[in-house]
Amino acid sequence: MRILITGSNGLLGQKLVQKLAGVAGVQVIATARGQNRLPFTAGYTFASLDITDKQQVDEVFGQHVPEVVIHTAAMTNVDQCETEKEECWKLNVTATEYLLEAAEKTGSFFLHLSTDFIFDGADGPYTEEAEASPVSFYGWSKYAAEKLVMHSRLKWAIARTILVYGIAHDMSRSNIILWVKNSLESGKAIQVVNDQWRTPTLAEDLADGCILIARQRAEGIFNISGKDLLTPYQMAIMTADYFGLNKSLINETDGSQFRQTARRPARTGFILDKPVKVLGYSPKSFAEGIAFLAEQITQK
pLDDT per position as a tens digit, 54-73: 999 999 999 999 999 999 99
Confidence at residue 220, expressed as pLDDT on a 0 to 100 scale: 98
Its sign, for the CA torsion 196, 142, 6, 153, is positive
Let me know: does 195 contact 231? Beta carbons within 8 Å: yes
Confidence at residue 257, expressed as pLDDT on a 0 to 100 scale: 85
pTM of the model: 0.98
Its sign, for the CA torsion 8, 9, 10, 14, is positive
Section 92-110 average pLDDT: 98
Residue 258 has pLDDT above 90, yes or no: no
Q: How much is the CA Rg of the chain, to the nearest whole Å?
A: 19
Residue 233 has pLDDT above 80, yes or no: yes
Where does the pLDDT of residue 300 fall: very low under 50, low under 70, confident under 90, or very high at 90 and above?
A: low
Section 120-141 average pLDDT: 98
Question: What is the CA 204 to chain-centroid distance, rounded?
Answer: 10
- For the chain, report the end-to-end CA distance as a whole number of angstroms: 32
Section 206-231 average pLDDT: 98
Section 82-91 average pLDDT: 98
Section 82-96 average pLDDT: 98
Residue 91 has pLDDT above 70, yes or no: yes
Section 264-273 average pLDDT: 97
Supply the mean pLDDT for the chain.
Answer: 97
Where does the pLDDT of residue 187 fall: very low under 50, low under 70, confident under 90, or very high at 90 and above?
A: very high
Section 246-252 average pLDDT: 97
- CATH number for the region 2-167+201-226+270-284 comes to 3.40.50.720
Section 31-56 average pLDDT: 97
Where does the pLDDT of residue 169 fall: very low under 50, low under 70, confident under 90, or very high at 90 and above?
A: confident
Confidence at residue 259, expressed as pLDDT on a 0 to 100 scale: 82
Confidence at residue 221, expressed as pLDDT on a 0 to 100 scale: 98
Cα–Cα dist 165/234, whole Å: 15
Residue 173 has pLDDT above 80, yes or no: no
Its sign, for the CA torsion 125, 130, 132, 138, is positive
Section 159-185 average pLDDT: 92
Where does the pLDDT of residue 203 fall: very low under 50, low under 70, confident under 90, or very high at 90 and above?
A: very high
